[in-house]
A and B are shown apart, each in its own frame.
Chain A
Amino acid sequence: MRYLPHTADEIAAMLEVIGKNSLDELFSTVPEDCRYQGNLNLPEPISEWELNELMSGLSATMGVSPEYKVFIGAGSYEHFIPESVSFLLTRSEFVTSYTPYQPELSQGTLQAMYEYQTLTARLLGMEVANASLYDGASALAEALLMAIRTTRKNRVALSSLIHPLYRRVVQTYLGPTGYDLIELPRLENGTTDLSLLEDLDNLAAVAVQSPNFYGCIEDLEAVGERAHAKDALFIASFTEPLAYGLLKNPGSQGADIVCGEGQSLGIPQSFGGPGLGMFASRMKYVRGMPGRLVGQTTDLNGKRGFVLTLATREQHIRREKATSNICTNNSLCALAAAMYMASLGGRGMRELALLNHDKSEYLKEELRKAGFTISFETPTFNEFVVECPTDFHRTYEHLLAKKIVAGLSLEPYYPELAHHYLLCATETKSKEDMDALVREVIS
């Protein structure tokens, strides 16, 4: 097998040095009653060429571009990824290296992560960002736990318009802790109703997503004011960071912690993972922040270099008192995001974000003209909710047969919004694609 270099002679020579007669004898310390009985029941090994064919067959069943036109966002966004970024991500010094615990031979990863932290902080308008967490959902859970630790209070308020699957992850993470989770309902216009905050005491944090799950842009400044009036930390979350190429960032609106999903930034959708948990906060809370941090320093010769720092927050030192149990970050994904942001630049990102906005506005307008009601009047970024006829699921199936995935039904997530659909149009959807969708829907 091409990954196992040992020859029979080498094995014999090595066994002699060790003083054993066979490979089996190396396992004398494994008791009989712990042994695997018989052989592993796995398929026969296949060659590289058979593997290609097998995977080709499996992947051919998937509904992806260019064959399919998929109009879903909801936490996973189709964006063009520059070939230069994909190419650079195959450099094996990035791919096959480990966490940069030995900084002298990991300066590539360390400088790249320092750059990622900086670009993330700038994008989100915050003072410091970490080197990434697993995904937007766990990042939100970590943000809430951080707020609870920092304020020493046990209650948090979360908007019901935060991604429903994120809220479920939060429930799982906070389940055994006994902390109090309050849900903030929505207003008619598709944004968060903050009035419940009036009567809440002992609040550690208020968390709101923008653009929210309906695609609507929340008034983050107002949320910040209300949260701070209650001595709570303001956590702003997001699923579509491209929005911040155009919209006012959470930092400029008073956010204390910002967390969300960075998949849009040069990372393939990959059936939901790996993604990128982006996480940033004010500098004064940095010692309570979870995840890895890269810092700048100098070496013995006074040359600039980078190291992992403030490691005493982390599990390998603090163990049960750590800020989190997290060990890996999503380094390669963070690298992709940095490369992507660097490729776009400030002006480029704004232009692309504007295009996203205008594409989805076009689709919105064409659907309006076709007689559909847009469910919420609040401005949106690149996704929005449409009210459809009660039998729309039939149309949906019909469109699917024509290789058009007409958005996401909200019914499983918001039963009161049955036959409302969440549609997304990014820069990847041409005018023709959108016209085809509308045409098929009408017919």
Chain B
Amino acid sequence: MKESLGTTGLILNEPLLWEKGRRGRSGFSQPRRDVDSRPLDKGLTLDELDLPDLSEVDIVRHYTRLSQWNFGVDTGMYPLGSCTMKYNPKINEKQARVPGFAAAHPLLPPVVSQGALKLMHALERFLAEITGMDAVSLQPAAGAQGELTGMLLIHAFHKSKGMRRSKIIVPDTAHGTNPSSAALCGYSPVPVRSNEQGMLSAEAVAGVMDEDTAGIMVTNPNTLGLFEENIREIAEIVHAKGGLVYGDGANMNAVMGIADMGRAGVDVLHLNLHKTFSTPHGGGGPGSGPVCVKTKLEPYLPVPRVTEEKGRYILSEDFPESIGKVHAFYGNFGVMVKAYSYIRSMGAENLKRASQLAVLNANYMKEMLKGTFHLAYDRPCMHECVFSDKFQHPYKILTLDMAKRLMDYGFHPPTVYFPLVVDGAIMIEPTETESKEDLDLFVEACKAIANEAQQDPERLRQAPQKCKVRRLDETAAARHPCLAG
């Protein structure tokens, strides 16, 4: 076998901020004082603020060293299922930093915020076009907030018809944010099981749909990486009893220019700009979760909305049936700039191609690994595929052990133990930005690990060994939480 991608090298230890520094140091250039001191009531002020005093060099070294302990998409392949860890274009980062955008106050008079409003208006149109929906709100600050917004829209819709529905159908493959968003809205989730093919069946949905059910939350493609083939029939069943279809668009990367969510029967859909539209994950955020709706839900969208008249843009509150606001201002504009830049750089053909290549990569991965790991559903997959640790059970090796060992081979592990319907799930989403040679390296590493599971299982249980730390005691962290220094 060729030399492993994962190797060892010198990285440095770095203490906590308050374990370094010296009293009197500063890393900040205090602005020139051109006004006199003004008195302030001593009763209002605090004696001393206990923040560490560090020089600029202290800080730069500190965070440089910390960054070197991290693995990012720029480091290597990051095949986290359902996260779409695709390459984050640097030119998009630059656009977000442009002073006209970065330094803009949200409450500027519209006459001096035309550029931002125009960008938002255009992005709304692009997202509506890509999803096959009619209207968009960019306000939700993340996918989960987009889901909450979707639930609030559905709630408002039923309320306007004088109805009070208490339930919502949630498939067993749903991401945890689905039932928790529904619950925040006062809905009780009604579970429905996927069939043996890993999809929702119309019969199963018909069995639970009634006039007290507000609708259904469907992820399509679903979290098993499969297209929900019965979606139109399911939508009809739900609509027939006055319900609405919420689409979780986290997996949109599989179907841009290929599937039309509007045609599929979806009434409201959220998107994750930090997944499909290449904005970076930032170690956990910020993201952006726009919602796209059919005309019937447009009146309820959050305000203000960007409207255009004769080439001038304004922010309008003139939507009396709006659910209100989920964000203080207009959403994560800084993230929108990056998504807008991405769409302008790719264009229609390349977006479709991205989806095609994402699906190509996942299917290739599926074929190459299906003898090595147990494939949960041997069907054509979309942009991700799900395996399990069944083949490794005889050696008492778990998904967890294999995931940890992958790090030593120079890869970020795939998503593990999700979706819950597959025991010991391993969900691999390569994305379209991974080249064939990187996929092949990953496959090789997996095969080597499966072999180790047989020959030398203890190696896996001791993994990872090349990272900055070994496996961590999560039990102690939860039993005796130490959350601040």
Is B335 in contact with A274, judged by CB distance below 8 angstroms?
Answer: yes
Rounded to whole Å, the gap between the CB of B91 and the closest CB of chain A is 5
B287 CB–A CB distance under 8 Å: yes
* B33 part of interface (Cβ distance < 8 Å): yes
Asked whether A46 lies within 8 Å of B345 as measured between CB atoms, the reply is yes
- Partner of A118 from the list B18, B69, B331 (CB cut-off 8 Å) is B18
Q: Is the CB of B259 within 8 A of A272?
A: no
User: Using Cβ atoms and an 8 Å threshold, which residues of chain A touch B33?
Assistant: 355, 358
Q: Contact: A318 with B67, CB < 8 Å?
A: no
Residues of A within 8 A of B188 (CB): 320
The answer to whether B74 and A92 touch across the interface, beta carbons within 8 angstroms, is yes
Option from B264, B285, B356, B380 in Cβ contact (under 8 Å) with A331? B285
Beyond A51-B344, A98-B284, is A93–B482 a contact (Cβ under 8 Å)? no
Q: Are A30 and B227 in contact (CB under 8 A)?
A: yes
**Interface-central residue, B80, B107, B263, by most chain A CB under 10 Å:** B107
Query: B38: which of A27, A178, A314, A361 is its contact (CB, 8 Å)?
Result: A361
Assuming the contacts A45-B346, A105-B71, A361-B38, asked whether A319 and B48 have C-beta atoms less than 8 A apart, the reply is no
Say whether A40 contacts B257, CB under 8 Å: yes
Set of chain A residues within 8 Å of B469, measured between Cβ atoms: 103-104, 107, 299, 303, 305
Residue of B nearest to A50 (CB): B344
Count residues on chain A whose CB falls below 8 Å from chain B CBs: 200
Judge if B393 is at the interface, Cβ distance under 8 Å.
Answer: no
Interface residue B422 (Cβ < 8 Å from any Cβ of A): no
Cβ-neighbour of B282 out of A108, A261, A309, A331 (below 8 A): A331
A187 in the interface (beta carbon within 8 A)? no
Closest chain-B Cβ to A33's Cβ sits at a distance in Å of: 6
The minimal Cβ–Cβ distance linking A137 to chain B, given in whole angstroms, is 4
Contact partners of A194 in chain B: CB under 8 A: none
Say whether B101 contacts A271, CB under 8 Å. Answer: yes
On whether the beta carbons of B324 and A175 are closer than 8 Å, the reply is yes
CB contact list, A214-260 vs B, under 8 A = 217, 244-249, 252
From A4, A82, A127, residue with most partner B Cβ within 10 Å: A4
Residues in B neighbouring A46, C-beta threshold 8 A: 344-345, 347
Does A385 belong to the interface (CB within 8 Å)? Answer: no
A190: chain B residues within 8 A (beta carbon): none
C-alpha gap A112/B70 in the complex (Å): 11
Most buried by A among B45, B91, B328, B483: B328
Contact A62 B70 (CB under 8 A): no
Q: B395: which A residues are within 8 A, CB to CB?
A: none
Whether A48 sits at the interface, judged by CB under 8 Å, is yes
B106 to chain A: closest CB distance in Å?
A: 3
Q: Mark B90-114, 1 if CB is under 8 A from A, else 0.
A: 0101111111111111111101111
Given the known interface contacts A58-B100, A98-B83, A166-B328, the answer about A128 and B258 at a Cβ–Cβ threshold of 8 Å is: no
Q: Are B17 and A63 neighbours in the complex by a CB distance under 8 Å?
A: no
Q: Is the CB of B100 within 8 A of A316?
A: no
Which residues from A are CB-within-8-Å of B337? 55
Q: Which of A29, A268, A274, A427 contacts B141 (CB 8 A)?
A: A274
CB pair A268 B351 closer than 8 Å? no
A-B CB pair tally, cutoff 8 Å: 690
- Give A339 to B54 CA distance when docked, in angstroms: 10
Q: Are A37 and B51 in contact (CB under 8 A)?
A: no
Q: Which residues of B contact A359 (CB under 8 A)?
A: 35
Contacts of B85 in A (CB 8 A): 98
| CB-contacts of A114-128 with B (<8 A) | 114-115, 117-119, 121-123, 127-128
Q: Contact: B108 with A72, CB < 8 Å? A: yes
Let me know if A345 and B180 touch, CB within 8 A. Answer: no
Hey, what's the 0/1 contact readout for B10-27 against A, CB within 8 Å counting as 1? 000010111001001111
Structural contact, B260 and A400, CB atoms closer than 8 A: no
A122 to B485, CA, bound (A): 10
Q: Is the CB of A96 within 8 A of B104?
A: no
B276 an interface residue at 8 Å Cβ cutoff? no
Cβ-neighbour of A93 out of B71, B382, B471, B484 (below 8 A): B71
Instruction: Report if A93-B364 is in contact (Cβ < 8 Å); known contacts: A6-B436, A39-B257, A176-B152.
Output: no
User: Is B294 engaged at the interface, CB distance under 8 Å to the other chain?
Assistant: no
**Cα A184 to Cα B285 with chains together (Å):** 35
Give the chain B neighbours of A127 by CB distance below 8 A: 484
Closest to A18 in B: B363
Does B135 belong to the interface (CB within 8 Å)? Answer: no
Q: Tell me whether B324 and A347 are in contact (CB under 8 A).
A: no
Complex Cα distance, B173 from A233, in Å, reads: 38
Q: Choose the segment among B205-213, B238-246, B444-452, B473-481 that binds chain A (4+ C-beta atoms closer than 8 Å).
A: B473-481
- Residue in chain A with minimal CB distance to B413: A102
Interface string of A361-379 (1 = CB under 8 A from B): 1100000000000000001
Tell me if A328 and B31 are in contact (CB < 8 A): no
Residues on the B chain within 8 Å of A165, using CB: 325, 328-329
Q: Which residues of B contact A415 (CB under 8 A)?
A: none
Whole-angstrom distance between the Cβ of A183 and the nearest chain B Cβ: 15
B residues 157-188 near A (Cβ < 8 Å) are 175-177, 179-186, 188
* CB within 8 Å for A331 and B284 given contacts A88-B64, A123-B51: yes
Shortest Cβ gap from B162 to chain A (Å): 16
Encode B192-232 as 1/0 by CB contact (under 8 A) with A.
00000000000000000000000000000000001101011
Q: Tell me, yes or no, whether B1 is within 8 Å of chain A by CB.
A: no
CA distance A41 to B485 in the complex (A): 53
Q: Closest residue to A166 on the B side, CB-wise?
A: B328
Q: Is the CB of B60 within 8 A of A88?
A: yes
Q: Which residues of B from 53 to 94 have beta carbons under 8 Å from A?
A: 53-54, 56, 59-60, 62-64, 66-75, 78, 80, 83, 85-89, 91, 93-94
B 293-330 binary contact with A (CB < 8 Å = 1; else 0): 00000000010000000000000000000011111111
Q: Which residue of A lies closest to B363 (CB)?
A: A18
Query: In the complex, what distance in Å separates the CA atom of A23 from the CA atom of B331?
Result: 36
Q: How far is the CA of A68 from the CA of B470 in the complex (A)?
A: 53
Q: Output the least CB separation between A52 and chain B (Å).
A: 8
> A6–B345 contact, CB under 8 A?
no
* 12 A-B residue pairings within 8 Å (CB atoms): A3-B89, A15-B360, A36-B257, A42-B130, A98-B283, A107-B467, A109-B70, A269-B104, A320-B182, A330-B286, A344-B27, A347-B53
The 10 closest A-B pairs by CB, nearest first: A59-B100, A272-B329, A63-B112, A45-B347, A272-B106, A332-B282, A331-B284, A172-B324, A96-B72, A274-B286
12 more contacts with CB within 8 A, not counting A68-B112, A131-B284, are A11-B357, A29-B229, A39-B349, A42-B130, A76-B106, A105-B71, A106-B69, A297-B473, A299-B471, A325-B180, A342-B17, A348-B26
